[in-house]
Chains A and B, each alone.
Chain A
Amino acid sequence: MIYLDNAATTKPCEAAIAAVTEMMTENFGNPSSLHRAGLDAQLAMDKARKIIASALGADSSNIIFTSGATESSNLAIRGACAAYGRKRRKIVASSVEHASVDETLTAMEKSGFEIVRVSPRGDGKFYPVDFLNACDDNTVLLTMMQVNNETGHILPVKETFATVKRKFPEIITHSDCVQAFMKLNISAKTLNADLISLSGHKVHAPKGVGALYIKKGIRVLPLVTGGKQEKGIRSGTESVPLICGFGAAVESLRPTIASRYDHAAELKNALVDAVSGIDGVTVNSPEDSSPYIVNLSAAGKRSEIILHYLESFGIYVSSGSACSKGQQSGVLGQFGIHGKSADSALRVSFCEDTTVEEIKIFAEKLHEGINSVRG
């Protein structure tokens, strides 16, 4: 199997699996129990919390565990708007957000919020001043992803949040950092973010766990009520095994952010090189994108067909974002990729284990596929 769909999900690492197993066999207590078994589970969870917090340059008390980044972003947006949005009724976002954010905004719109989606300019780039101009005294929240999940575009979150906060310090800033966490160096403080969504399964942890960073002093009202776990912000017994798996995965990835980045850059170069010889293939990701994600268009051949063609050789890539199961994405259009280029867009995404050899095989099979499939 050549797995080139790491932006959809990653293979859980050994450390994560070991941690999950330990928390399901030896240390299975309920962290809210008063006895030692409960305390041990709590300690293991505290450790994971500390690891994830410190990877963001934050304090443990800033991290709330959730079931995944979709829940994190829902909690961030709905919870912050519930706390701060009684008078201020406008939300500003980038136009290329992941569905977990974008669909939440659409739902907020129905409950009376005005949503302003800021698009990239003609050069495919976002400019902080465009977000600033979209914000006003009526704005409650600004949300902007760090790395686009379909193209790898890196958005100027840091600059935008700084610019906006300088003029409107009361606006809450949220960033979906799912595709940036453990891949780029991000710190909550330098990002100027009040809220950050993270996912476990994109960083070699199991599915079903995520986290929300909440800056000290920022209020987020809960979406669910119950036993007041996670400081009452996210009630429900914590999924300790998955949380500990998340912590273990982050712990093992953190020392290698720089070297893995270089490796991904090498893979991206190899891929761009390899497909440059194929007629009609264009690379949609810009040069300065996150090297972990390369979006390309396969000579007008419908992406799904090429995807299944490659699949028959055990090569797995994605068409658009896997979360939307092949639905055509509006995001590519935002970046100026339309018509046949968008219909034939494939997303290739890497991890530490991906090799240049695999990239070469992919390019070869892609070439063959383009020549052999009709339509």
Chain B
Amino acid sequence: MSARTLSDKMLSTNHMGINITSVMIGVGILTFPRALAKETGGIDGWISIVLSGLVAFLIGWLLAKLAARFPRQTFFEYTSQIASKPVGYVLTFLVCVYSMLFVSFEIRAIGNIAKQYLFYNTPVEMITLSFLFVVQYAMAGSRISMLRLNLLFSPVVLVVLFLVLLFTSQLIEFENVRPFFSSDWQSLLNGSQAVGLSYSGFEIILFYTMLMKRPKEGTKAMALGLFIPVVLYLTIYIFVIGVFSAEVVKNLTYPTIDLAKEVEIPGGFFERVESIFFAIWIMTIFDTCMVWFDIAIINLTSMFRNVKKMVWILLLSPIIYFIAMLPQNLVDFFTFADYVTYYGMIIVYLCPILLLVIAVIRGVKGHE
């Protein structure tokens, strides 16, 4: 195989950026205005979004630096190299648990939202199971093809989102947006934390840098990958508040989907646009889901080289499905989501940054 065809099988910097964006845009973007409106009580939430965006970029930059230090090594390999093999095993295993929990969260979210907006009689169990089957199918193929799906889905999703914003722009009432700058710092910080929970996803750079054509440009990919979601979060938040007012948003489960509900397509070709919106949104949740599943598999295969990928897919799926079915109601479900994210913050933000510090101090470097 020639070098050119080989480089076709790797990720360009832009592709990596799109991957980050696709993973970040998932369920979080549908729910975050509620949490943010609760904390900040108004349009000031945008400050929280920017603030948490900056923090996310700082963390992301550090993670990209760490991964770029070990350009062609897996997460397991470089954690072992920095902090001894046992630590590598434990940390990688915890990351696998995290990514599996994430997949469970995403597929359960699909079930919940589909139940609310598309179905009345179909049980959540079946909706979730069918989704998991398609995710398995994506896993069974090659990794690069799977990541290429992000390139296919993200433009569609962005266009649909843009259309929704376009059609709702006339519904914004200036009254809803005021007053400006009324929140105190404490609530803004709380708001940042609330948004930050739905920002998770950019940590995939830790695991996919080894597939990049130019691993050094990981930080660039991170900048691109974070810029799109942050801008989207900002716009959506302003629109949601502008259309519904903060008081209403606090009580909406999925404010972003409800924003789509307000769309009236001229000519009346479709009614209930929110169902269509969600139907398209399945794609982006699918993106998030498959990437997390893949990260679990990357890490497992890097630890146990003798076990085939297919075995892991079949082994993990029932576990993921079982965990996804555990939350009994929406409250349970969102608590579950919060716990997963807090857990993730320790495992994929704090620990890798510590590793980077150790690596810099001890001068550990990867090989090309």
Do A and B share a complex? Answer: no
A residues sitting closer than 8 Å to B (CB atoms) are none
